[in-house]
Structure 1
Amino acid sequence: MDRVILHCDLNCFYASVELLSHPDLRDIPTAVCGDPASRHGIILAKNEPAKRCGVQTAETIWQARKKCPGLVLLPSHHALYREYSKRVNAIYEQYTDLVEPFGIDESWLDVTGSLHLFGGDARALADALRERMKQELGLTLSVGVSFNKVFAKLGSDYKKPDATTVISRENWQEIVWPLPVGDLLYVGAAARRLLHQYGVDTIGQLAACRPEMLETLMGKMGVQLYEYANGLDHDAVRSRYEAEPVKSVGNGTTFPQNLTTRIQVQSGIAMLADSVATRLRRCGLYAGGIQVTVRDPEFHDRSRQKQLTSPTRLIRDLTGEAMALTETLWHPPAPVRALTVTAIHLVDEADAYEQVDLFGVSSGPKKEKQERLEAAMDRIRGKYGTDAITFGAAHPEKEEAPLP
């Protein structure tokens, strides 16, 4: 028997929550943005009138106002969004225990085992959910109904706002295959450009490719996308209370002013590595690899990653490896707007080991001592606050001389 899966996507979520307190702005182009003073001045969400003006999520405020001079800007309130997200998912859980959030404003619901309790009609259930969300929370939903998660998400994207789309065994090829390949889950800009070089611009063209060719081009992801395009996704909907395996641990920040010197960049890397190391210890994990992303003032991102010779979660190690990667991407005095440091290829404590060199010399005792030291830092921060103690590299005593 086919599964019955809903993908529920809250329309213009941040903006919709803000407009609950500003009903007079519903018909006026309005956007929620980050704080321009702290250089987080990008559009986080927009309402339908702003969308019709061409305003896009993640573009800068000046770009948005160029398209829409009368755009009203509202500050973001993330704690409020999290509260509404909890309330929305609590409603979903009245229909099934299999509710898997996908970000703060989207969730999959597997109602295969409970649909008969609500009339047995999946479209009618989706419509009832949309109406209930409007009545109880003042928010609108787009809902996709299908036999797998990927097509359910395509359905919620297919018609917006406040709509239900059913993608069934009978109509899925007619609906799905003409769509742009970029509409498929996990097909980002880079994958879209790569596939375009081989004449693949629609999901149907992707479905017609040989899986061996896609694997050669894209590795395991190519095979996965082939299965998605052909309706072969069997991924289960997990309960939101079921812990998801941690695949990476990262932290990034936009700096108040551009960084232009090596010591400034190293301080930024050390601060981020400190945060990543702390989270790794909290999760009982070690980094087997490291990835760095550097963003310039024009919002161009460049990334590099590498495998580490031995797993680690030490601030010193992560800082050194991340800085070495950064120096392959950036040279002073080129300005840096933002940095991200991510621990990848994670392993748990039982699998973390160090390769002993040919002469039997190991830094194990030193690393154990450093781990105890950093664990002590965690305890101090837990008692007195995150600023109570910091890693020295994050606070250099002197600035390097400017380049001639």
Structure 2
Amino acid sequence: GAGRNEPSRTTSTYDAEGEIGTGKGTISMRALLHLDADAFFASVEQALDPRLRGRPVIVGGSYRGVVSSASYEARKFGVHSAMPIARAEQLCPNAVFLHGQYSQYEEYSDELFSICRQYAPEVEQSSIDEGVLDLTGTERYHRGRYPKIARHIQATVWKQLEITVSEGLATNKTVAKVASDLKKPNGLVAVPRGTEREFLAPLDLKRLPGAGPVLTRKLADYGIRTVGEFAQLPREWVLITLGKGGVGLHQHANGVDERPVRPTRDPQKSMSHQETFDADTIDTVFVLGVACRGVSMLLTKLRAQGRTARTVGLKIRYGDFQESQSTRSLDEPLDIDPPFYRILEELLPTVWQRRVRIRQVAVTLSNFYTASMQLDLFDENKERMARLYRSVDAIRSRYGFDAVGARGVWTNGRPPRT
């Protein structure tokens, strides 16, 4: 219940009251709060079942074969996200292993960001458990300085949801995101205006958002391992060595990031693809093939965005323009095609119940998650499956989507028989 004592908070020495921003105006006067839920899936499980409080909880398994989320009690044993479940069992045999209740996680996410929108007029949700709030100019309304507002948000989240969030408070997105990750769980790190570059300088380059393993390895070859060392490089050298993308990252390393907060009051919760046939058809194999092709196109986009989906919908339009539709969810979010093909195969007879020709089919994916790991059908095939889809996407990117197909029924919307 809501009466449970709130966990202790960690507040960084960078926390300087009233020095984040002073009101609307220039970029440097902004006050942005990056909020990140701590061990979100595992924390929701502990909130739903108080018997799990204080116990190591590991969410994962099923298709994935890897850890999706590990409570902080489990992390003490070395368990972390994307670790094979078998390894997690070796490190922490007494943990509670759960497949996950993704519909519950989605509800908690909706409630979390509903709370955020009570404190800031502009909230940008970047994933199910992470986002940034623009608090600029809200001090008078909330009758407190920005760090106090941030702590109040933490208290409200705990009171209503019984999960903790870590926060970073700064004048821009990059610094706020980095700060939010430094004092987990339930931490608040505030970076005063004018100290952004100094704050970032001693940190490992891997902490800079956008600095992936390829870039960090390349810079390590030049002896560059911290954000500060990267920031000191001449811009021209960065452009020649890393390209235009590297220049933007170099600017962020210097504590400069002018990207605005883009409100997502109703964040993209679905994507869809539809095909209208040249002639109405009664060919079930063809209709299913077109539906599978559509979902494959959507999954290709999702993989490029580093996201997964849990729910697929199928809608048909009959020749007389009446429509029928249905949706179904996987046990956990995925970004690989076969499980979605199987669901479409099950959905088609449930939506196509009239003995009438079909003129259009549409598929929809929804309930998106950030893909923090490679997904697989079977544990032993994880790497092979990951390589397969990377290869498929690379071929399609170069030669067009239909260069690689499945089910042998890809067409251009033209029924083989009517």
TM-score range for the pair, normalised by the shorter chain length: 0.5 to 0.7
* Corresponding position of 2:33: 6
DSSP 3-state at the match of 1:102: strand
Question: What pairs up with 1:189-268 in 2 under 5 angstroms?
Answer: 189-241=213-265, 249-250=301-302
Question: What pairs up with 1:1-400 in 2 under 5 angstroms?
Answer: 1=26, 2-35=29-62, 39-241=63-265, 249-250=301-302, 297=381, 299=383, 301-302=386-387, 303-304=390-391, 305=394, 318-320=401-403, 322=404, 370-371=412-413, 373=414
| Whole-angstrom CA distance in 1 between matches of 2:50 and 2:159 | 15
CA contact (8 A) 1:4 1:110 kept: yes
| Whole-angstrom CA distance in 1 between matches of 2:382 and 2:30 | 45
| Whole-angstrom CA distance in 1 between matches of 2:341 and 2:236 | 43
DSSP 3-state at the match of 2:236: helix
Report deviation, 1:282.
Answer: 7.4
Cα separation, partners in 2 of 1:309 and 1:208, compared to 1, 3 Å: closer
Report deviation, 1:191.
Answer: 1.9
TM-score (norm 2): 0.63
Q: Flag structure 1 segments of 5+ consecutive residues without an equivalent.
A: 254-266, 284-292, 311-316, 327-366, 375-390, 392-404
Output the amino acid matched with 2:161. L
Output the amino acid matched with 2:401. L
| Whole-angstrom CA distance in 1 between matches of 2:179 and 2:398 | 44
Cα separation, partners in 2 of 1:216 and 1:269, compared to 1, 3 Å: farther
| Whole-angstrom CA distance in 1 between matches of 2:401 and 2:244 | 28
| Whole-angstrom CA distance in 2 between matches of 1:160 and 1:281 | 40
TM-score (norm 1): 0.65
* Corresponding position of 1:332: none
Output the amino acid matched with 1:297. N
CA contact (8 A) 1:269 1:319 kept: no
Q: Flag structure 2 segments of 5+ consecutive residues without an equivalent.
A: 1-25, 272-297, 309-336, 346-359, 366-373
Report deviation, 1:307.
Answer: 7.8
| Whole-angstrom CA distance in 2 between matches of 1:48 and 1:111 | 29
Report deviation, 1:24.
Answer: 2.2
* Corresponding position of 2:329: none
CA contact (8 A) 1:12 1:46 kept: yes
Output one character per residue of 1:142-177: Cα deviation in whole Å (capped at 9) or x when no partner. Answer: 110000011110111011111110012243334311
Which protein, 1 or 2, shows the higher relative CO under an 8 Å CA cutoff with sep ≥ 6?
Answer: 2
Report deviation, 1:309.
Answer: 8.0
* Corresponding position of 1:286: none
Report deviation, 1:218.
Answer: 2.7
Output one character per residue of 1:107-133: Cα deviation in whole Å (capped at 9) or x when no partner. Answer: 100011323211241110111111111
Report deviation, 1:65.
Answer: 1.3
Report deviation, 1:281.
Answer: 8.8
| Whole-angstrom CA distance in 1 between matches of 2:152 and 2:220 | 40
Output the amino acid matched with 1:213. W
Kindly report the root-mean-square deviation, in angstroms, between the aligned alpha carbons of the 2 structures.
3.7
Report deviation, 1:30.
Answer: 1.4
Output one character per residue of 1:35-78: Cα deviation in whole Å (capped at 9) or x when no partner. Answer: 1xxx3221111111101110010111101112112222012111
DSSP 3-state at the match of 2:238: helix
DSSP 3-state at the match of 2:247: helix
Aligned length: 297
Output the amino acid matched with 2:36. D
| Whole-angstrom CA distance in 2 between matches of 1:126 and 1:218 | 37
Output the amino acid matched with 1:223. V
| Whole-angstrom CA distance in 2 between matches of 1:41 and 1:318 | 29
